[in-house]
Amino acid sequence: METRPETFSIFRTQENDPACQSEQHLGQYYTVPPSHFHTVFPHGLPPRYQQQVKTFNEGCVMVRQPALELISHLKRADYSKPTLRYLLYGVKGSGKTMSLCHAVHYCSTQGWLVLHIPDAHLWVKNCKELLPSSYHASRFDQPIQASNWLRNFRTTNEHFLSKIKLRQRYVWTKRESTEEGRPLGELVDMGVSRVKSSSDVVGAVLKELRLQAGGTEGGFRLAVAVDGVNGLWGRTTLKKEDKSPEGFDSMDPFVPVPVSLYSEKEFESCYLYYLDRHWLQHPHSQTEEGKKELIFLSNRNPSVLERLCAFL
Amino acid sequence: MAASVTGLLKPWTPRVLLVRWSRYNPYYLEPEPRKEVYHIPETELTPEQKEERELKSVRPIKAATNSVTSSVFNDPVLSKFVNMMMKDGDKIIAKGIITQTLENMKRKQVEKYHKAPEGKKAEIECNPYTIFHHALENCKPVIGLASIQKGGKFYQVPIPLTDNRRRFLAMKWMITECRDNKHRRTLMYEKLSQELLAAFSKEGNVVKRKHELHKMAESNRAYAHYRWW
């Protein structure tokens, strides 16, 4: 990895810790340290952003208003009361997934256990393999999705897996069962290796975490981040599927957080970032005329701008 | 030829108006899509430009085609390439393939750029448009062959080519090469970007084909006098 000199620039900030970022950093890019990158975000990032990270050799996230709001709520919330839910909403391509990932980064730097579901639609639609669930008669399972998710869960939360102990005995087949008091890591490994019962393992993991999260002895904070959460209530291609997803209650007491398109300042810093990373190559795109045209064509929508700048 | 005909033609508009056809009465003038031409103030115009403006105010003008934009990013060579790649009039797919190709080329070059040591950075060309233009230049043949009949037999005679013909041949070779010689699973934009990057550094199948054409022309030098134009 190349080391960059610490030059002062308008669109970058040296404050790489989400906990210390505040309104003065709005519109600036902070770098996710490369060592953290693969542990914190094995899944959950939009695919085009992952390609961008690979091309630029670094992962930079813009500090934006919705993410900061979410993080400040998380800092100040009172945990003895019932948990609050936050809903990020906005037009397509306005940056909801990225704000969610920013908040997830904050949670993992604070040492919380993060349950990040990259896309709820994947679990509900278009599944290639189905297995009728042994747990509930009317449910269907998706073994591949479940095993993928468990593998990523293991990468994200390594240090928690050995600490948490199971409170209940789980029986998978006639010959296999997991006893009480074994660490969670074993459960997850079991789910990854045995694909057939991986969805049951997912259910068991969620149940365990729910029971243990608020506990006083060695209790840890649990953050659940679900992307595409409307998929859990929308139409499913699987008939007779139980709508209540894995035991979560319905979303009623929630705090809505709107995610808007780029403001002028944010657009400026995005433009400067692309220029800095040698991404805007067309000679005309670097002029004022080209910039005005980019604003017009993309309407300051982050994903549209990204797609436009890709071939310019 | 058109100059003499236009003198005789009167400003006649047919009852059924031709919109966006390619065959117009030669009386009609070409549209000017570039914005900067209209921003020049009255005082700075040269006499020819003034004359041109006056002519445009009396003559009818052809309708502009869909592919012509007043955007700064408009590139006529690229539009021609898109049109040649198009099948069954589906320009959306052709344009999509070209944009994916440009993006792919840029990604590869930018990745190489960021990983290269400081000294080598200046040599890596990241702009996909310059790569495209240079690659096309490298694929253009200098001399072509024509089949000329003399004394009952056909001979391959080396002839000079016009600029348009050279450009057409380069694009045609590029497209046929990418369509035919690729693995079943590689996508078109992937293969195109590989070929363009290879042609930029003067390797690859298309420049090989150009060199073979040159060799054929060189070997048939003796028949050059069969050309009468």
- Report DSSP letters for A68-107, one per residue: HHHHHHHHH--SSSPPPEEEEE-STTSSHHHHHHHHHHHH
- Indicate the average pLDDT of chain A: 74
Q: Which of A283, A290, A311 sits opposite B103 (nearest CB)?
A: A311
Residue B36: other Cβ atoms inside 10 A: 9
- A28: tokens are 């600036």
What is the rounded distance in angstroms from the CA atom of residue A285 to the CA atom of residue A275?
Answer: 10
Q: Please give the pLDDT value at position A114.
A: 76
Q: Which of B99, B107, B127 sits opposite A55 (nearest CB)?
A: B107
Cα B135–Cα B144–Cα B209 angle in degrees, nearest 5: 45
Residue A206, φ and ψ in degrees, nearest 5: -65, -40
A31 membership: H or E segment, kind and range: strand A29-32
Q: Please give the pLDDT value at position B196.
A: 93
Q: Does B190 touch chain A (CB under 8 A)?
A: no
- The model's pLDDT over A87-138, given as tens digits with 9 standing for 90+, comes to 788 888 888 888 888 888 888 888 777 777 777 777 766 666 666 665 555 5
Find residues 100-129 of chain B whose CB sits inside 8 Å of chain A.
100, 102-103, 106-107, 110-111, 113-115, 126-129
What is the rounded distance in angstroms from the CA atom of residue A22 to the CA atom of residue A15?
Answer: 10
SS3 track for B111-170: HHHHHCCHHHHHHCCCCHHHHHHHHHHHHCCCEEEEEEEECCEEEEEEEECCHHHHHHHH
Q: What residues contact residue A148 under an 8 Å CB cut-off, 6+ apart?
A: A43
Q: What residues contact residue A9 under an 8 Å CB cut-off, 6+ apart?
A: A272, A276
- The C-alpha of A277 sits at a distance from chain B's nearest C-alpha, in angstroms, of 8
Q: Please give the pLDDT value at position B169.
A: 94
Name the DSSP class of A245.
-
Cα B17–Cα B19–Cα B25 angle in degrees, nearest 5: 70
- In this prediction, residue A4 has a pLDDT band, given cuts at 50, 70 and 90, of very low
Q: Please give the pLDDT value at position A128.
A: 63
Residue A6: other Cβ atoms inside 10 A: 8
What residues of A are in the B interface, CB distance below 8 Å?
2, 51, 54-57, 277-279, 281-285, 287, 289-290, 293, 310-312
Q: Which of A150, A194, A153 is nearest to A172 (CA)?
A: A194
Q: Please give the pLDDT value at position B215.
A: 95
Q: Contact A56/B129, CB-based, under 8 Å?
A: no
Using DSSP bridges, classify how beta strands A254-258 and A85-89 pair: parallel, antiparallel or unpaired. parallel
Name the DSSP class of A114.
E
Q: Give the up-direction half-sphere exposure of residue B132: CA atoms within 13 A in the CB hemisphere.
A: 26
**ipTM of the shown complex:** 0.78
* Amino acid (1-letter code) at residue B109: Q
Cα A284–Cα A286–Cα A290 angle in degrees, nearest 5: 55
- Phi/psi zone of residue A302: left (φ > 0), alpha (ψ -120 to 50 degrees), beta? alpha
Cα A295–Cα A288–Cα A94 angle in degrees, nearest 5: 20
* Amino acid (1-letter code) at residue B53: R
Residue A177, strand partner residues = A171
- The model's pLDDT over A258-289, given as tens digits with 9 standing for 90+, comes to 888 888 888 888 888 888 888 888 888 888 88
Which residue matches tokens 């048939």? B220
- Phi/psi zone of residue A126: left (φ > 0), alpha (ψ -120 to 50 degrees), beta? left
Average pLDDT rounded to a whole number, residues A16-31: 81
Considering Cα of A31, then A36, then A38, then A43, what sign does the dihedral take? Answer: negative
The one-digit pLDDT tens for each residue of chain B (229 residues) are 455 565 666 666 666 665 666 778 888 888 888 888 888 877 777 888 888 888 888 988 888 888 888 888 888 899 999 999 999 888 999 999 999 999 999 999 988 888 888 888 888 888 899 999 999 999 999 999 999 999 999 999 999 999 999 999 999 999 999 998 878 888 999 999 999 999 999 999 999 999 999 999 999 999 999 988 8
Q: Does B34 touch chain A (CB under 8 A)?
A: no
Using DSSP bridges, classify how beta strands A29-32 and A59-62 pair: parallel, antiparallel or unpaired. antiparallel
Is the pTM higher than 0.90? The answer reads: no
- The model's pLDDT over A136-183, given as tens digits with 9 standing for 90+, comes to 555 666 777 777 777 777 777 777 777 777 777 776 665 666 667 777
- In this prediction, residue A230 has a pLDDT band, given cuts at 50, 70 and 90, of low
Task: Count CB pairs under 8 A between chains A and B.
Answer: 48
* Amino acid (1-letter code) at residue A27: G
**Is the predicted pLDDT of residue A249 greater than 90, yes or no?**
no
Chain B CA closest to residue A307: B103
A307 membership: H or E segment, kind and range: helix A302-311
SS3 track for A52-67: HHHHHCCEEEECCHHH
Q: At what angle do helices B163-180 and B76-85 cross, to 10 degrees?
A: 50
**Is the predicted pLDDT of residue A207 greater than 80, yes or no?**
no
A6-10, A223-227, B116-120 — which one is most confidently predicted on average? B116-120
What is the rounded distance in angstroms from the CA atom of residue A62 to the CA atom of residue A13?
Answer: 10
Chain B CA closest to residue A274: B110
Q: Is A123 in contact with A117 (CB distance < 8 Å)?
A: yes
Q: Please give the pLDDT value at position B96.
A: 93
- The model's pLDDT over A36-84, given as tens digits with 9 standing for 90+, comes to 787 778 777 888 888 888 888 888 888 888 888 888 888 877 666 666 7
Average pLDDT rounded to a whole number, residues A212-241: 58
Q: Contact B126/A278, CB-based, under 8 Å?
A: yes
